[in-house]
Amino acid sequence: MNDRTFQDEPCFVISVAARIVGVHAQTLRYYERVGLIWPSRSHGKQRLYSPADIERLNRIKTFTEDMGMNLAGAEVALKLTERIEDLENQVEHLSNQLNQVLSRTPTEGEHPART
């Protein structure tokens, strides 16, 4: 089964991505040059942005324009945000596993079924 989701599928050219985010295409080229984003490339080397890339760009824009961070601060904030999301996913996964184990474990006063 393919793990790629729609969020990961590159589908927007740079002009469309820039218009969606509300920045100039040159800004996106600069963000790529400094390592903040990594758009996919078509066979003709055209930059292609996925919905996940657009989401990342919107976060960068929020950090820099709305919160007044410089790009270095935005990069740190992005890394921290991504790490928090990873940890939240791990906690959810472990919680689900624990709930499964607890649902199979006899409670106090119950006896396990004998086979």
**Cα–Cα distance list, 104 to 5, 50, 98, 107, 111 (Å):** 33, 42, 10, 9, 12
Residue 29: CATH number of its domain: 1.10.1660.10
Q: What is the mean pLDDT of residues 2-6?
A: 54
Q: Does residue 93 belong to any structural domain of this protein?
A: yes
On whether residue 113 sits in a domain, the answer given is no
**Does residue 110 lie within any of the structural domains?**
no
Range of the domain at 39: 6-104
Number of domains in the chain: 1
pTM: 0.73
Give per-residue pLDDT as tens, 16-64.
Answer: 999 999 999 999 999 999 999 999 998 888 999 999 999 999 999 999 9
The answer to whether 63 and 73 have CB atoms below 8 angstroms apart is: yes
Give dist(CA 39, CA 34) in Å, integer: 13
Residue 75 inside a domain? The answer is yes
